[in-house]
Structure 1
Amino acid sequence: MTTKPGIIFDIDGTLCDSNYQHAFAWYQAFRQHDVQLPIWELHRHIGMGGDQFVAAVAGDRVEEEIGDEVRTAHDVIYLTMIQSVGIFDGARGLLEDLKGDGFRVVLASSAKQREVDHYLDLLDGRDLADDWTTSDDVEQTKPEPDLVLAAKEKLGEGDAVMVGDTPWDVEAARRSDVPTIAVLTGGFSEAELRDAGAVAVFRSIAELRERGTQLFLLD
């Protein structure tokens, strides 16, 4: 009998349609501090955690001088838009399918508890996930492996599979020895996700769900 791996789901951009709200929140946060960056460039780094984000898009000097202030502004602005975030078609259904077929599921986020609670409400997911992470569970965010390692620890013993939407998800999982199934809902191309190491790429969570839960066995 094949042992079923635990499934680690990224939340932002994978289960919940939030990447572009985050990109705009970063845009506004930088503008508040007189740093002008194009939204397309900010989007290219969505999926990277806030502790990594500022230096990656604006350089070490901006990080050193105003990094914390920009992160705080982003968080405040994003919360003003969080009500516009929805869940992707098939997201709760896929969680239900996995639960029904005996898979363990952990929802992985480095967001603060307030945001994660909102996502859990949107997904009505507390009864479907075995556990979830928040910013309290990690020291460094993606592409560092901390988040995936924290999720693996919550899953317990056994193999794991990651589901994500950005190259940063894939890299963090790869550094944790976890294969990633990716979806295009984060706005990155199939080629980018495969180049990062994704073992399979689907257009959406709904398309992934149509393939059935046996796909997660990665035979």
Structure 2
Amino acid sequence: MTTIAVVDVDGTLVDTNYHHSLAWFRAFENSGVVVPIWKIHRAIGMGGDRLPAEVAGEEVEREYGDEIRAAWAEFFDPMLEEITVLDGARKLLKELRHKDFSVVLASSGKPEHVDHYLDLLDARELVAGWTTAEDVEDTKPAPDLIGVALTKGRGERAMAIGDSVWDCRAAAKLEIPTVAVLTGGFGNDELTEAGASRVYEDLPSLIEDLDTLPAKEPAD
């Protein structure tokens, strides 16, 4: 049976998590709100619609949420040229395709950011499709983004590859297994506790085990 591999982008294929953390820190500071960067990092991987409330509370979201999100984009955009592809990223996509996985990239990033990453990865011909922030209203840890990704692939079974606890929790809600990597800065134990079936140090380590990746039929 063909398996759909739903692959996260930020922190999994491209090295962006700390750039995102710094951009959010500056965006909060721009509105007079100081949030420690370590705390922001713990929320990277969930959507920007959720992040301000997660790290600074509902009152900050109500008063400054849209302002902070707009400032985040202004601070992050100049960093795009600094973004690099993580070791093994394109090889992972090529090997998954070679092994007849139907690969879909699941990102809640802005469309122009996702386009930039697709160019960096030279991935358009390797994947069945991809998502952006425009595809859903409710982002990770809600399962919506992964659900949309599944509609863009073909297969009876599915699995996810990601780097954050939010990836694991979103996939778990659809009852599909997640294989996680440490490249986003989350720890082995916390990824496992969030539902990761396996945790690998990096993508090259994961690639060695592609023939044994777990997969299940998604829940309705």
TM (norm. structure 2) is 0.95
Q: Which amino acid aligns with 2:212?
A: L
| Shift of residue 154, structure 1, vs aligned partner | 1.1
SS class of match (2:100): coil
8 Å CA contact 1:4, 1:217 repeated in 2: no
8 Å CA contact 2:177, 2:215 repeated in 1: no
Per-residue CA shift, 1:119-155, capped at 9, x if unaligned?
0001000010110001111111111111111111111
8 Å CA contact 2:3, 2:215 repeated in 1: no
CA-atom RMSD in angstroms: 1.2
Q: Which amino acid aligns with 1:114?
A: E
Alignment CA distance shift 1:147-1:218 (3 Å): closer
Residue matched to 2:166? 168
Residue matched to 2:153? 155
Pick from 87, 104, 107 the counterpart of residue 105 of structure 2: 107
Please identify, of 148-157 and 169-178, the stretch whose mean Cα deviation from structure 2 is larger.
Answer: 148-157
| Shift of residue 159, structure 1, vs aligned partner | 1.3
SS class of match (1:74): helix
Residue matched to 1:53? 51
Aligned-partner Cα distance in 2 for 1:89–1:157: 27
Residue matched to 1:121? 119
| Shift of residue 217, structure 1, vs aligned partner | 4.6
Pick from 208, 212, 216 the counterpart of residue 213 of structure 2: 216
Whether 1:133 and 2:143 are equivalent positions in the alignment is no
Pick from 197, 200, 214 the counterpart of residue 199 of structure 1: 197
Structure 1 unmatched runs, 5+: none
Whether 1:29 and 2:27 are equivalent positions in the alignment is yes
Whether 1:69 and 2:51 are equivalent positions in the alignment is no
8 Å CA contact 2:3, 2:157 repeated in 1: yes
Structure 2 unmatched runs, 5+: none
| Shift of residue 156, structure 1, vs aligned partner | 3.7
Aligned-partner Cα distance in 2 for 1:5–1:191: 27
| Shift of residue 218, structure 1, vs aligned partner | 5.0
Aligned residues: 216
8 Å CA contact 1:5, 1:216 repeated in 2: no
Aligned-partner Cα distance in 1 for 2:214–2:35: 42
SS class of match (1:199): strand
Residue matched to 1:144? 142
Instruction: State the 4+ residue runs in structure 1 displaced beyond 3 angstroms.
Output: none
Identity of aligned residues (%): 47
8 Å CA contact 1:181, 1:198 repeated in 2: yes
SS class of match (2:49): helix
